[in-house]
Amino acid sequence: MRHHRRLSYVAVSLGFGLFLADVRNVRADAQAPLDPNAFASLGSIGNQTLAFHFDTGDGTSTPVALGVNPVPMNGVIFNGIAVFDFTNISLPNGSSITASGSLPLAILSRGDVSIQGTINVAANGTTPGPGGSSPLLPSPTPPGPGAGGPSGGGGFGGIGGGSTGGVAYGDPTHVFFGGSNGGSGGIATGGSGGGGFELSAVGDISVGGSSNSGIFDDGGAGQNSSNSAGGGGGSGGGIFLATPGQISVTATAILATGGSGGNGTVAAGGGGGGGRILFETSNYLASEAIVDSIGGSGGSAIATVGADGGNGTFDVTSYVPAVPEPEIGAAFWLGAPAMLLRRRGKTRTNSV
């Protein structure tokens, strides 16, 4: 039976003004975000109801974003990531951002970020989120490292459901990956993985405050079959929010849940594993917020029920300085690659 989503409330106040929900333990590694001041700004987003679609491309083409303006905004590829940099971001109620493509997506702000609309980087059936993997071939991305076997759920933050479920990979301190696809059950295709998504700002980040808001990065559902096994669900993706200021999440949802397994006759599809969510900030404030990465539910077959996917991770850590700007980063990449993956001490929480 699928686990209930957990409400994450402000529960504990730590020194240095860091507020955390469900504090469990302490680790000493963290991922460095991209520097919003290191890229050319595309201007500001917001202050009117808008719908944007970000296409991260195929790894060689220029990433583009389309909104109400017919002229596309061009991003850049940096270190295998499609990067779009803005002066500030205000996504009002009723506005939306969607994304697709083979590369993970990073949206950066040199100022504050206010998300009262929706950001959807989730998979949709066999269509992956940006940087997620698909069971369909040819695919814009190869099978993920946690791809499920026949009818097995895809793994990422948690293992995929079923005996052929995919493995978990990465770790809670390095979440910027797309999710992995579930395995096909013969005719029934597995679900795709959620996307890899980073939202980094110099100023504060606020999410919620309206009835239609949130960040969604769920895995795709496995297909049903009336004469074969069901497809495995795709895993949730990776969500990375980072700022030296404050992250506040109010009356909204930030989700990276696994996709459900498909129903079948021979066998049921396993649920996809939950994804990974990481917040890096000096202050985290949560009120009536759902921040979760639970595993997807297994499908059903004659006299059997498919296994649920394993729960993923949600962690809140102290802010890590951004990686060097592209010019400096290129020099470091030649002489000292590890500098692009700076790590420092942090506090970790798991909510699932």
Determine the average pLDDT of the residues in 256-271: 96
SS3 category, 283: strand
Rg (CA), the chain: 19
- Rounded to the nearest angstrom, the gap between the alpha carbon of residue 23 and the centroid of all alpha carbons in its chain is 21
Q: Mind listing the pLDDT tens digit for each residue in 123-179?
A: 999 999 999 999 987 666 677 899 999 999 999 999 999 999 999 998 888 888 899
For residue 155, the cross-strand partners are: none
Which among 161, 131, 162, 167 has a CA at the least distance from the CA of 146? 167
Provide the residue type at 275 as one letter: G
Please give the Cα distance from 344 to 33 (Å, whole number).
12
Burial of 285 (0-12, 13-18, 19+ CB in 10 A): middle
For residue 250, the cross-strand partners are: 208, 287
Task: Classify the C-alpha dihedral 135-313-90-214 as positive or negative.
Answer: positive
On the question of pLDDT at 306 being above 70, the answer is: yes
Which among 320, 226, 219 has a CA at the least distance from the CA of 271? 219
Q: With contact defined as beta carbons under 8 Å apart, do 36 and 110 qualify?
A: yes
SS3 category, 118: strand
SS3 category, 94: coil
65 or 342, greater pLDDT? 65
Q: What is the pLDDT of the chain when averaged over all its residues? A: 83
Of all residues in the chain, the percent with pLDDT exceeding 70 is 81
- Rounded to the nearest angstrom, the gap between the alpha carbon of residue 218 and the centroid of all alpha carbons in its chain is 8
Looking at residue 324, what is its pLDDT? 59
Q: Mind listing the pLDDT tens digit for each residue in 69-118?
A: 667 899 999 999 999 999 999 999 999 999 999 999 999 999 999 999 99
Please give the Cα distance from 274 to 120 (Å, whole number).
16
Q: With contact defined as beta carbons under 8 Å apart, do 115 and 107 qualify?
A: no
